[in-house]
C-alpha cells in the first residue's frame, strides 16, 4: 500500500536551513532519513520551540490532509536528508482503508490540541503523571531544579520519536507514530535503587532517589537492603555473577533498571553500576557489564542531572513504548548534565573521573545512534578519548578495555557510514586491544561481541579494498563469536551472526567459484531464519531472505540448477514484500533488481532448455524444417527476455 506514497527523490538541507515556514502553503509531508528537524511556532511571547524530531519521524502531516498553511516552522538541525510524501498517492492509498484514514486524522487533531496546550498552558505537560514512590526534598528535589528541567523539556521535546530497526528511518514506523497515544498515557518506567553498601544512615541512597524528582514518566523505589554481592571488585567472573544476581532481583521487581553500588571506606565516593533487563544490546552507547559511574558523596544537583541522563542511557527498553519514552528525554537530559559530564570533579582520582567521561560519552553516543547523526558520535569519541588519556592499561585494565570497546564501536559506525578504511582499521585495532582485557574465560559475552564486530570490520574492509584475506578474517571472527552465542542462550545475536556469516561466505564463494562455500552460505542464512520471523522481526527477516536469495542465485548461476534460481526469486520476493510495506525505497529497489536478475536468468535457462529440445531433428525432417522451428522459437521467446 505504501509503495506509491514516497516520491522518488530525497531532499537535503544544511544546518539551519528552513524547510518550510509557518504560514507557507503545503501539499506534502516529510519523513526524516537522517539528521534532526526543529519545529517552532510564533506565539505572543515570541518563537517557541515545540520539538526536535529525529530519523523515522513524519512531519508536515496537515499538508497531506487539506493543503492548509503550515502551522509551524521546520528548520534543519545539522545536515538533514528527507523523503517526500506526496498528497495524492497517500490519500489514494488510504481511500482503500477509510477507518485508518479517520484514525490518522483524529490523531493529527489530537496533536494540534496538544501543541496549543503546550503553548498556552505549558504547565499542564508536567502535572498529570504519577509522582515518585519515595518523596523527600534534598537539593535535587528543589522547585528550582524542577523548573529548570521543565524548561529544558518544554524547549526540546513533547512528542515521542519513531524509528525503524537500528535507527533506520521507515515510513511505516513514522505512520505508526500517528497512532501512538500521548506520552502521558503510556506506561511509565520503573527504576530501583538498592541501598548502597557502606551508606550507614541511608543519606546517599536517598540522594540518588532525589535525582529523579519531578520525572513524571519514571517511578523510583528504594530496595531496603543491599545486594547480596557488592559490585566493587573488578573481576570478570565476579562482575558477571553480581550482574546476574542484580538482574534476577530486577526481574522479581518487574522493573526496568537497577542502580546499585557502594560508598567507599572513607565515605568520599559513591561508585554505581547499572543493570537493565537485557545485555544483548551492542550499539554505540550501549552499556557494558564493566561500566560504572563514580560521584562524590553529597553530590550537587548538577551531578544529579548527570545521574539521571546516565540512567536513561543505561536502560534497555523492554518494548517500543519505553523506547518512545526514553528517546525524546535523552537530549534535554544531556544538555542539563553537560557541564558536570565534561568537567569531572578534581577531588576524584583519575579512574573515577574517567568513569564520568565514559558515561557522558555513552549518553552522547546513544543520541547519535538513535538520531543517526555522526556529529553526536564524534562528540562521544572525544569524550572516550579524553577518558582513555587519563588511564593506563597497566593501572586500570578493566576501565581501559571498557573505554577502548566504547570508542571502537563509535569509530566503526563512523567508518562504515563514510566508507573510510582508515577509521575502520583504527576501530579494528581498538577491538583487538580490548580483547586483551575481555578474554573468553572471564568475559564470554563481551569477547563474543568483540569477535562479531571484528568480523564486521573485516567484511567492510573487503568491500572497500577487495582483499579476499579480509573475508577469511571476517568469517573467522563470526565463527569465534558463535562459540559463545547459541540459538538457545542468545537467539537474536546468534541469528545476527549467522546472517553475517552467510553474507561473507557467499561473497567468498562467488570470488573463489567454490560451490561448497555457497552451500555453507545458504545453510547459515536458513539457520538465521529459524529465529528471525516475518511477524516479530520483519526487517531482519527480510535482510536474511535477501541474503539467502543472493546465495541461491550465485549457486544457481554456477551450477546451471534452475531450482536454486527459483528459490532465489522466491526469497527476493519475500524480502521485497516487507520493504514495500515499510516504505524503504532504497531496499525496495535492491530487492526488485535482485529478483529481476534471478527471474531473467531463470527464464533464459528455461528458454535454452526448450530450444535444445525444440531443435532436435525429427524423423524425416530436413534442414528446412529445423530452420523453420528455430525462427518460430525466436519469435515466441525473445519477447519474454525484454
pLDDT band per the 50, 70, 90 thresholds, residue 146: very low
Q: What is the CA radius of gyration of the chain?
A: 28
Predicted confidence at residue 88, as pLDDT, reads 64
CB 234 within 8 A of CB 262: no
Residues whose CB is less than 8 angstroms from the CB of residue 193 and which lie 6 or more positions away in sequence, other chains included: 205, 208, 209, 220, 221, 222, 223, 258, 259, 260
Per-chain mean pLDDT for the chain: 79
Please tell me the least confidently modeled range out of 50-59, 368-377, 569-578: 50-59
Q: Which residue has better confidence, 325 or 459? A: 459
Rounded Cα distance between 219 and 257, Å, is 11
CA distance 467 to 456: 14
% of the chain with per-residue pLDDT over 70: 74
pLDDT of residue 161 exceeding 50, the answer is no
Q: Is the pLDDT confidence value at 634 over 50?
A: no
Integer Cα distance of 395 and 380 in angstroms: 24
**CATH class of the domain defined by 2-120+162-177:** mainly beta
Q: Where are the domains of the chain?
A: 2-120+162-177, 130-156+187-349, 485-642
Give the residue ranges of DSSP H helices in 436-537: 444-465, 468-481, 491-512, 515-528
| pTM for this predicted structure | 0.68
Residue 161 and residue 359: Cα distance in Å, rounded? 23
Task: Give yes or no for residue 269 having a pLDDT over 60.
Answer: yes
Q: Are 32 and 54 in contact (CB under 8 A)?
A: yes
CA distances to 151, 193, 217, 300, 340 from 145, rounded to whole Å, are 10, 21, 17, 11, 15
Q: At what angle do helices 444-465 and 421-435 cross, to 10 degrees?
A: 160
The model's pLDDT over 470-516, given as tens digits with 9 standing for 90+, comes to 999 999 999 999 999 999 988 999 999 999 999 999 999 999 999 99
Q: Mean pLDDT, to the nearest integer, of 423-440?
A: 95
Residue 105 confidence (pLDDT): 55
In whole angstroms, what is the distance from residue 522 CA to residue 526 CA?
A: 6
Tell me the β-bridge partners of 82: 11, 32
pLDDT value of residue 326: 86
Do residues 641 and 604 touch, judged by C-beta distance below 8 A? Answer: yes
What was the pLDDT predicted at 187?
61
Query: pLDDT tens-digit profile of 5-47?
Result: 455 567 889 888 999 988 887 778 888 888 888 888 877 666 7
Q: How confident is the model at residue 59 (pLDDT cuts 50, 70, 90)?
A: confident
Cβ within 8 Å of residue 168, ≥6 positions away: 55, 56, 372, 539, 584
Amino acid at each position: 500500500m505504501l509503495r506509491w506514497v514516497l516520491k522518488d527523490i530525497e531532499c537535503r538541507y544544511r544546518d539551519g536551513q528552513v524547510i518550510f515556514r509557518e504560514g507557507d502553503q503545503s501539499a506534502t509531508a516529510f519523513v526524516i532519513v537522517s539528521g534532526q528537524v526543529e519545529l517552532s511556532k510564533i506565539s505572543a511571547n515570541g518563537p517557541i520551540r515545540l520539538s526536535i524530531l529525529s530519523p523515522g519521524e513524519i512531519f508536515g502531516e496537515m499538508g497531506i490532509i487539506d493543503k492548509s498553511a503550515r502551522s509551524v516552522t521546520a528548520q534543519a538541525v545539522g545536515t538533514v536528508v528527507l523523503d517526500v510524501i506526496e498528497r495524492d498517492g497517500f490519500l489514494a492509498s488510504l481511500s482503500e482503508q477509510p477507518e485508518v484514514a479517520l484514525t490518522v486524522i483524529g490523531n493529527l487533531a489530537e496533536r494540534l490540541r496538544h501543541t496549543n496546550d503546550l503553548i498556552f498552558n505549558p504547565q499542564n505537560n508536567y502535572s498529570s503523571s504519577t509522582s515518585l514512590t519515595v518523596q523527600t526534598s534534598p537539593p535535587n528535589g528543589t522547585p528550582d531544579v524542577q523548573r529548570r528541567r521543565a524548561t529544558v523539556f518544554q524547549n526540546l521535546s513533547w512528542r515521542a520519536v519513531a524509528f525503524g530497526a537500528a535507527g533506520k528511518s521507515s515510513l511505516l514506523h513514522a505512520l505508526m507514530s500517528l497512532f501512538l497515544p500521548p506520552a502521558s498515557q503510556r506506561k511509565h518506567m520503573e527504576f530501583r535503587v538498592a541501598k548502597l553498601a557502606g551508606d550507614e544512615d541511608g543519606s546517599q541512597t536517598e540522594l540518588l532517589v532525589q535525582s529523579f524528582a519531578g520525572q513524571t514518566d519514571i517511578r523510583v523505589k528504594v530496595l531496603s537492603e543491599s545486594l547480596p554481592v557488592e559490585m566493587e571488585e573488578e573481576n570478570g567472573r565476579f562482575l558477571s555473577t553480581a550482574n546476574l544476581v542484580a538482574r534476577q532481583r530486577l526481574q522479581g521487581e518487574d522493573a526496568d533498571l537497577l542502580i546499585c553500588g557502594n560508598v567507599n571506606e572513607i565515605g568520599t565516593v559513591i561508585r554505581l553500576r547499572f543493570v537493565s533487563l537485557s545485555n544483548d544490546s551492542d550499539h554505540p552507547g550501549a552499556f557494558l557489564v564493566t561500566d560504572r559511574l563514580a560521584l562524590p558523596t553529597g553530590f550537587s544537583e548538577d551531578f544529579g542531572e548527570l545521574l539521571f541522563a546516565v540512567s536513561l542511557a543505561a536502560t534497555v527498553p523492554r518494548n517500543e513504548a519505553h523506547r518512545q519514552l526514553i528517546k525524546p528525554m535523552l537530549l534535554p537530559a544531556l544538555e542539563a548534565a553537560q557541564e558536570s559530564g565534561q568537567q569531572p570533579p578534581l577531588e576524584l582520582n583519575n579512574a573515577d573521573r574517567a568513569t564520568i567521561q565514559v558515561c557522558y560519552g555513552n549518553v552522547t553516543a546513544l543520541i547519535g545512534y538513535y538520531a543517526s547523526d555522526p556529529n553526536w558520535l564524534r562528540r562521544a569519541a572525544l569524550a572516550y578519548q579524553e577518558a582513555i588519556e587519563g588511564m593506563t592499561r597497566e593501572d586500570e585494565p578493566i576501565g581501559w578495555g571498557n573505554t577502548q570497546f566504547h570508542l571502537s564501536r563509535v569509530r566503526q559506525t563512523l567508518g562504515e557510514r563514510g566508507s573510510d578504511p582508515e577509521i575502520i582499521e583504527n576501530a579494528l585495532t581498538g577491538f583487538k586491544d580490548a580483547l586483551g582485557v575481555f578474554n573468553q574465560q572471564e568475559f564470554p559475552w563481551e569477547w563474543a561481541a568483540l569477535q562479531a564486530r571484528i568480523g564486521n570490520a573485516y567484511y567492510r574492509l573487503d568491500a572497500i579494498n577487495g582483499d579476499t584475506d579480509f573475508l577469511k578474517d571476517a568469517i573467522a571472527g563470526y565463527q569465534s563469536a558463535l562459540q559463545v552465542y547459541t540459538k538457545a542462550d542468545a537467539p537474536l545475536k546468534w541469528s545476527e551472526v549467522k546472517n553475517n556469516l552467510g553474507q561473507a561466505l557467499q561473497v567468498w564463494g562467488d570470488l573463489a567459484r567454490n560451490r561448497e562455500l555457497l552451500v555453507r552460505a545458504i545453510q547459515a542464512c536458513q539457520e538465521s531464519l529459524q529465529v528471525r520471523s516475518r511477524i516479530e522481526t520483519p526487517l531482519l527477516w527480510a535482510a536474511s531472505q535477501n541474503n539467502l536469495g543472493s546465495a541461491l542465485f550465485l549457486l544457481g548461476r554456477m551450477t546451471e540448477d534452475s531450482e536454486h534460481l527459483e528459490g532465489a526469486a522466491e526469497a527476493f520476493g519475500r524480502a521485497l514484500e516487507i520493504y514495500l510495506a515499510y516504505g524503504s525505497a532504497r531496499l525496495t529497489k535492491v530487492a526488485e533488481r535482485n529478483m529481476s536478475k534471478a527471474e531473467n536468468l531463470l527464464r533464459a535457462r528455461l528458454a535454452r532448455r526448450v530450444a535444445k529440445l525444440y531443435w532436435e531433428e525429427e524423423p524425416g525432417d530436413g534442414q528446412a524444417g529445423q530452420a523453420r522451428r528455430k525462427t518460430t522459437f525466436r519469435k515466441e521467446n525473445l519477447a519474454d527476455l525484454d
